[in-house]
Amino acid sequence: MLVQQRTIKKPISLSGVGLHTGTSCKMTFRPAAENYGIRFRRVDIGGMPEVPADVDHVIDTSRGTTIAVGEAKIHTVEHVLAAVAGLQIDNIIIDLDSFEPPILDGSAKLYVEALLTSGIETQHAPKDYLVIDSTVHYQNDKMGVDIVALPSNDYRLSVMIDYNNPALGSQHSGLFDLEKEFISEFAMCRTFCFLNEVETLHKQGLIKGGNVDNAIVIVDRDYSPKELEQLGKKFGLSHSIFLGTTGVLNNGSLLFKNEPARHKLLDMIGDLALIGVPLKAQILAARPGHANNIEFAKKIRKLYQQKKIIKKYQYEKKEGVVFDINALHRILPHRYPFLLIDKVVDFQLNEKIVAIKNVSINENYFQGHFPGSPIMPGVLIIEGMAQAGGVLLLDGSTDQQSKLVYFLGINNAKFRKTVIPGDQLRFEVTMVNRKQKICVLRGEAYVGSELVAEAEMMASLMDRPKI
C-alpha cells in the first residue's frame, strides 16, 4: 500500500442535483496541505464553514450519511468519500454551494474520473495508517448485522447482503486490492432500491433527485399500468415507466450480477473513510447499512484515538504494558513520594483503566503506619485510584501536562481488607459520567482476586497554576 500522503494537483468541479434533497449543487475538489485530512466546505454560507469528514460530525444515517458543524450540513457524503478513499487521497477540500453533493449517475465513477483528471500528487508526509492488530467486532442482533475487523497488512473488504426478498436474494462481494480493483470493479456500481420502497421514501421527503438514470430500481412486485402512471406523475417524470422483463425498472440492466452487493461495499468504503485515517485491516460485513457502518466506524475511530494517545506518551512498546513509569511521569504531575501507580496495563478510552501499584516495605509511610504492623493507609489507596483516574481522563483533546486533576468529592468509600508490604494492588477505574471538565469515576482496588477497597469519586480537570 502507499506510504506517503496524497492530494490532487488542481481544482476540478462537477454539478448536478442531490439524490435526496433534489437541490442543484456545484461541487469543487481542491488540493489540501499535508495532514489537512478530508473536509467539506459550504461556500454558500457566510464564513464558509468547514465540516471535517469524520464520525464525530455525523448527525443522520437515514438512507445516507449526513455530517454537520452547526447549521452547515452536508447530506449523502458516502459516494464522494468512497471516491476519495478509493483513490487513497488523504488531503482534500470539497467545496459545495448547497447541502448535498450531486448524485450524478448514482455511483462514484464520475467523481473518480474528475479526481483522476485533476491528477494525484504525492506529498512528503507519511500516511498515518491505523493498523488493526486484534479483532474488533460490532454486532446488531436486532438487524442481523455483523461487522468484523481482522488484522491484515492491506485494506480488504468483504460484504454480504440479504434482504429476504426474492427479487434480489443474497449476494456477496469482496475487494482485495484497493489499487487494482477499486476503479475497474466497484467505482461504477450504482445505488439501488426496491420499487415498493419508492413511494415511502418519497413521502419521507427523500429521493427528490432520484430517477431511473441515477438509481437501480429493483422490481419486487407486480404493478398495474395505472399504478405506474401515478407513480411517474408523483415524481414529475416526463417519460413513462414500465416493469420490463429484466427485474430492473424500465428494463434496466446490471453492470455486474452482484452490483447491489458491490454498491454496498462502495458505501462502506465511503462510510469507513469517516474514521479519519486509512486502515490496514480486513473488514468482513454481513448486512451492512449506513447506521451500522457508522457505529462500527465510531468504534474503530475510538481505537485510533486511543492508540494515538498511547503512542504520544509510551515511546517503547512493551508486552503487557500500556504506560510504563516513564510514560506516567509524562502524564501525571505526581512525583516521589506521592506517585502511587507503577504502570498501566489496560486503557480503554473514556471507559476504563487498570493500573498496578507494587507495595514495598520501603514506602515511607510504613515508618509511622504502623510501627511493627505496617498497613497501607486507606486514603492512599483512594489516592492511587484517583491517579489512575487522572490517566483515564486522557482523550487527546487537551495537553495533560498543563492540567491538574482536583477532587470534588468522594462517596461510598469502603475498605474491606488491609494492604501490607509485598501486596500488588490492581486499581480498576471506570468512567461513570463525563461532562466538559467534570467527571464521575468508580474505583476498585484488588489484591489478587480479592476486593480490598472501593469508592466513587468526582473530579475536575483544571489548568495548572502558573508559577
What residues are labeled active site?
290, 369
Residue with cell 505526581: 334
Tell me which long-range contacts 249-253 makes (C-beta under 8 A, separation of at least 24). 249/195, 249/212, 249/217, 249/218, 249/219, 250/212, 250/217, 252/212, 252/216, 252/217
User: Residue 145 and residue 258: Cα distance in Å, rounded?
Assistant: 19
Phi, psi of 287 (to 5 degrees): 60, 50
User: Residue 389 and residue 203: Cα distance in Å, rounded?
Assistant: 50
Are 105 and 79 contacting, i.e. CB atoms less than 8 angstroms apart? no
Are 425 and 384 contacting, i.e. CB atoms less than 8 angstroms apart? yes
User: Residue 466 and residue 211: Cα distance in Å, rounded?
Assistant: 63
User: Residue 407 and residue 386: Cα distance in Å, rounded?
Assistant: 8
Nearest 5°: CA angle at 278, between 275 and 283? Answer: 75
- The sign of the dihedral angle between the CA atoms of 385, 391, 394, 398 is positive
Specify the DSSP class assigned to residue 166.
T
Strand partners, 451: 446
